[in-house]
Structure 1
Amino acid sequence: MTTVRRLLALPEWTGAVQVLAGEAGLDATARTVRPLADPGAYTPAGPGEVVMVSTPVDPGDWRLDALLRRVVDAEGAAVLVTAATPPADRPADATPGETPGETPGGMAGGMAGGMAGGMAGGVAYGTLRLADRLGVPLLGAAADPLDLLVAARMMLAEPEIDRARLVLSAHRAFDERTLAPEGVVARLGELLNAPAALLDERGQPLAGQVREPEAVRAQEVVPQRVRLGDGVLLAHPAALPGAPRPAFWLVVELRGTAAARADVVPAALSVAASAVQRWLLSHRLELERDARSRSALLGDLLRLDGEPSAQLRRRAADAGWQLGGWHVGLRIGAPPGLDTVASTAQVTRVLRGEGVHAVVVEHGDGWTGWTTFAQEPTAARVHALADTLRAANRALRRSAGAHMGVGRPHPGTSGLISTVAEAADAARLAATRPEAGFFLQVDQLGMAQLLLEWARTDTFEPAARALLAPLHDQPGDLIRTLSAYLDAESSIAETAAVLGVHRNTVAARIQRVERLLGIDLRHRDERLALHLACRTVSRPAG
């Protein structure tokens, strides 16, 4: 079904035809467009007619009022007129009541405030009011009526012509060349004369811009249509073949009369989405090639049994890796099935957001990395680094379910191998330590392991359970809170972050623990005993 609003969205009509009055009838069905030289000679031919007055109409011509009534009586769709030149003593953009001596009812200056494209014309104010009252669209033209007639009749005779022309234009715009997302979005916007953008699955723009990107939500609907206040937003997924869900959405925002083309635009969106997919495939191949190169270089380094060769040092330098200095290794584990190649950029972005500039390499089910210091880092600097890495791990855990282990500082190439190995050991244990926030630093790991070995006796476990018995069945999960508090070196803030509760809640729970157990956690001997007990009662059986 073609409506008057749909006619206004035709390329030949856009900007050349404007609604002067009767907007309530824009959704009326338009079945034909008939030219008429004399407004007084109209003879109804059937419902759904758009009557196009091809000769200029003088302001105040009573025949136009009569034509509007006849069109309404015949269930016509709209009336389109070519405006006449306004009176010389009255500016085209005047509003009713501004010109002295104006005829009764006034004039709608400059075709209701001026036509798009600079059209100068006038229609009696009373005629505009009549069109509004009758609910029939009164349109004003600033172009050759013959061009408008031909375009409208072609579309009415074959509604798919517009779609076919748009698809053909899209194929020409997005040929077989690989375009970056910015290029695809720019060409799409030009093709549709509408805002376009490429969004990620969270609705964040990667290229281009639309007014309401948050209206898009990743769904398994192709294409997706979202109603806006004055239009529609169309979205089409762009994903790699076999991907479980779209990584990106190509969107276009159609507002006003352009929204009437919403039925044909998805075909052009599909063509443009194919161009994005070609870029994704090309980009993915580059990522995988780089990942294989980095992973192979890391493997050669980890297999070293002595000093690296000149060729290996050259490869490391080409990759931007420093082999000299002091290194602190890190290992980030990922859940099975996560696309580590595609997620590397996110991992690097999160680390840099915390101020950590590290080498990150796809390695197994996760990433191996390290950060390098020119001089041996102080204990305070290592502690600060651990804090920032712990914060980064929390962010990665929310988005990717990651866990992290951190090694100690070691110098040179052999030190790089050592710290990376330590980080891997710590990460394996971190994966099973929710009380530590799925994060372990190897220094803490060594002490924890020592405590556990000391506590693994037949007599200590019953004593540990008896020591913590007053905390059982108490609200607030006091044993877990105490364990996390001791693992966090008595930091209220860090414990709150690990448990996901407010710091005041942690402080209140620790006070209850001290009161129930009758101890003072400021005393290191009591902290050590309780740490041993918590580790013992919370470790997995066997």
Structure 2
Amino acid sequence: MPALSDVLQAPGLRLECLAGTPGDQAVEQIFVAEGLLDLQEAPPGTAAVLGAQVSATVDSYQFDVALRLAVARGVVALVLADPGAPPPTSTSIGTAERFGVVILRQTERINLADLVCALDSALRGSAELGLRRAVVAFQHLTTRRAARPDELVADIADIADAEVTVLDEPVGALAFPIGLDDDAERWVVVRDGQARTRPELALIGRLLANTLALSAAAERRARELPIRSRAELLSELLDSSSRGRSELLRRARSMGLPIDGWHLVARIEHGDKELQESDEVAAFATREELGRVALEAVRSSGSWHLARAERALLLIQMSRGDPGSTAAADATGVVQRALDQAIATVPGIVMFCGVGSAHSGPTGLINSAAEARAAVAAVRARNRTNTATAFDGLGLRRTLVEWYASHTARTAVDTVLAPLDKMGHTKATSAVRTLQAYLDNHGSLSRTATELHLHRNSVAYRVDRIFAELDVDPDNPDDWLLLQLACRARGLT
């Protein structure tokens, strides 16, 4: 027989003790008394539930008489279903305590049928009680999903009548990941000495873990939505023409972005071209993860925002005032720490990173982005991976890089060297190298042959063939300069 103290642990019950002490009194069945005199028919070992009309007479002498009838019948407890029922008289309390009858009162309004079912489920045994606990837990999690996680855990622990905690690692047999198994960082852990005989604990633990995961995902979406909105706006702004820029600037100001202040852009490009070409989904996921990690890493060092250009990631530092002459150097150090964090998070990642200078106003944002792009082109040419490089630190190559960063310059280079590109990648690369050596040596076949470790006649043959393909005049100084710039710029890519 279940003890009264165990029966009263049934989920959904909120009972307070008005007289007597709930303990190991054996409860055999639940009895409903529609009138006080019905108690004289209550079987022994009964927990008698008194309806609202009966509960209203608790402070009367009639209840004292009915209580003596209950004692004579061996009733274990009287349960007042109405939370508004008056307290029993001192005579009734004395009688109950003298004869070991417990008087209880429901503290929250509940349908009489639900109260009886809850008590009866607890009486019938663990299977039905476990199912009821699971149902109550499900209903609670459904209606209180917006509650704080610690409140949900405490409530479910109370409903399940077990120790429920959230830990950083799975401990014991009943540990449930909050989120996907591979990505989980926290687990719901349920501890109970009778876990083997209480299968509902596994269901309750899983329900709680899933609810906490959904709540965390909703909170993360709410937190990331402004970030994504700003990222999309900045990406669109950097890709827009001057004619369509005014509306984007208005939106940026309305979002609180200091678009009229000072801006510095860092550009990060994924270096694994084979991955991007063979598995676009994996490349996209890597870029998303890289963006999240990088933004988290730089946030503590000023106001940084995220944007994207083509397949590159842009980190944009914005400030309302002039950040000073050391802004680029300081930002390069911050971005380098972000790269280091990304390498630790995504092992084996290959990145090329360039950091522009600080410029003011919307035009300054675009100029800094162009400088960052040029810096990336330079570090790609040097194969300098996973290292943040400032545009100011490119030395003598800066002028060339800055020139080649413009769309016009890249078009000019591609146009003038297009005839050689038609020869195929390998032959085109050899031809450009030969042409650059010939131009750098001021048209001297001997010095060019020495530099390339070729015979003079071989160089002469190659040079004649190259100029036959190109649509330029080798005797025109402007064409000569354009070819020199084109060959050097081609080296940046």
TM-score range, shorter chain: 0.3 to 0.5
| TM-score normalised over the length of structure 2 | 0.47
State the structure with more CA Rg: 2
Higher helix share: 2
| TM-score normalised over the length of structure 1 | 0.43
